Structure 1
Amino acid sequence: MNIDDIAGRAKGIILEPGKEWPRIKKEQKSNMDLLLHYALPMIVLAALTSFIGSWSLHLVVYQLAMPLVSLVVSSYVINMLAGKFESTENLNNAFKLVVYAATPSLLASIVANLSFLLGWVGLFGLYSIYLFWIGIPVMMDTPESRRLGYVLLSALVIMVVQMVIMAVMAPSWGWGLLAG
């Protein structure tokens, strides 16, 4: 894990996504490498700040599981959808797209988890949608005419994946209607 590499990539994808996506596409990084050396450090840091902000081990487990499972499952589903949108199926590119587009969400959760007073910082995570929008034609070779549908369906898939994870984890926490 190289903090400078993570910071450099995060800065590049957030500030200059149009230049960064073609660089990302050319890189030869495995999906495991992306998870372990890029996403996981941010996910662990978000889980730690969640513990500092809430002192809840349940929330820490959720903060670790939700992004990891969501990134992996969403990448597979987005790759499987590629053919429906005249795009190129390539799991590694789908993985890069999902992981790097999630950068603002991952970074925002680090700060937002410290206190409920900082929850508004989570809105920065919405920038991930824009990064996904910019990245999908580059990473998945999506034609402009199919881009909107692919992005919308991908967003829906990501939300459903996250709701399923929450529903699976909620019974052990006793969360209202989800626990019933």
Structure 2
Amino acid sequence: MEANNRKKIVTTLKENILNPKDFWIAQKQSTETHAQRITGFFLPLLGLAAVAVFLGEFFRSSHFYMGYAVLKAMREIVLFVLQYLLAVYFTNELIKTFKGEKNIEVVRKLVLFSMTPFLLVSILTGLFQFLYVLDIMGVYSFYIFWLGANELLELPKEKKDSYIIITILVNFFVFSFLSIILSKLLTAYF
């Protein structure tokens, strides 16, 4: 990864986490394509999370068993990719239920950047598994989603808050379901 790409990722992370309101205003005018956001932001963070989970699991085991660490890293990748895809689908489909204008490009941006705290927490807890209590910090994603939805989505004012709450709950349950199922599959295999 080039130094420019790393700098851009760090800047995006900093703005997204520390100043989300201004971040979403800037994203509203952004001309970056979906592919650029995926390859320049999401995949590097996801790769870093997978490597962190691999290293954390590999060095935690008493026998340095690589097979389980690889499967755990793959589980992390599958979890976040499926979460992204399903969250985009449900977030976009729920818009028409609340009499809004569906816009897949805006929804992709909203879901992708609101997953940032979950990815950062996964990197931290993947490397240092004893810090799992910090998983609660991923809830900050909901706040980022709330601000982004208010800024980016075209919904009737009286239905916007209901839409955001329902969408957050749906995406939370999807993430929980995927996490449990993938963990059960992993433990069933090993």
- TM-score interval, normalised by the smaller of the two chains: 0.7 to 0.9
Task: Give, in angstroms, the shift of residue 4 of structure 1.
Answer: 1.1
**2:118, 2:138 within 8 Å by CA — same for their partners in 1?**
yes
Deviates more, 1:147-156 or 1:55-64: 147-156
User: Is 2:188 the counterpart of 1:174?
Assistant: yes
- Alignment correspondent of 2:115: 102
Deviates more, 1:161-170 or 1:44-53: 161-170
**1:136, 1:142 within 8 Å by CA — same for their partners in 2?**
no
Task: Determine the C-alpha separation between the residues in 1 that align with 2:13 and 2:135.
Answer: 16
Task: Determine the C-alpha separation between the residues in 2 that align with 1:94 and 1:83.
Answer: 13
User: Is 2:44 the counterpart of 1:41?
Assistant: yes
Q: Secondary structure at the match of 2:127?
A: coil
Task: Give, in angstroms, the shift of residue 20 of structure 1.
Answer: 1.1
User: Is 2:136 the counterpart of 1:129?
Assistant: no
1:41-84 deviation digits (Å, cap 9, x = unpaired)? 11111111111111222211111111112112211221121122
Runs of 5+ in structure 2 lacking a partner?
59-68
**2:16, 2:113 within 8 Å by CA — same for their partners in 1?**
yes
Task: Give, in angstroms, the shift of residue 151 of structure 1.
Answer: 1.9
Structure with the larger RCO, 1 or 2 (CA within 8 Å, 6+ apart):
2
Task: Determine the C-alpha separation between the residues in 1 that align with 2:17 and 2:173.
Answer: 25
**Aligned with residue 19 of structure 2, among 1, 9, 16:** 16
Task: Give, in angstroms, the shift of residue 120 of structure 1.
Answer: 2.4
**Aligned with residue 152 of structure 1, among 145, 165, 168:** 165
User: Is 2:141 the counterpart of 1:138?
Assistant: no
- Alignment correspondent of 1:178: none
Task: Determine the C-alpha separation between the residues in 1 that align with 2:106 and 2:28.
Answer: 7
- Alignment correspondent of 2:65: none
**2:75, 2:182 within 8 Å by CA — same for their partners in 1?**
no
**1:13, 1:20 within 8 Å by CA — same for their partners in 2?**
yes
Q: Secondary structure at the match of 1:53?
A: helix
Runs of 5+ in structure 1 lacking a partner?
176-180
Structure 1 85/58 Cα, relative in aligned 2: closer, same or farther at 3 Å? Answer: same
- Matched letter for residue 40 of structure 2: H
- Alignment correspondent of 2:92: 79
Task: Give, in angstroms, the shift of residue 172 of structure 1.
Answer: 5.3
- Matched letter for residue 113 of structure 2: Y
> Number of paired residues?
176
Structure ID, larger Rg: 2
- Alignment correspondent of 2:126: 113
Task: Determine the C-alpha separation between the residues in 2 that align with 1:120 and 1:22.
Answer: 32
Question: TM-score, length-normalised on structure 2?
Answer: 0.83
Q: Secondary structure at the match of 1:89?
A: coil
**2:95, 2:101 within 8 Å by CA — same for their partners in 1?**
yes
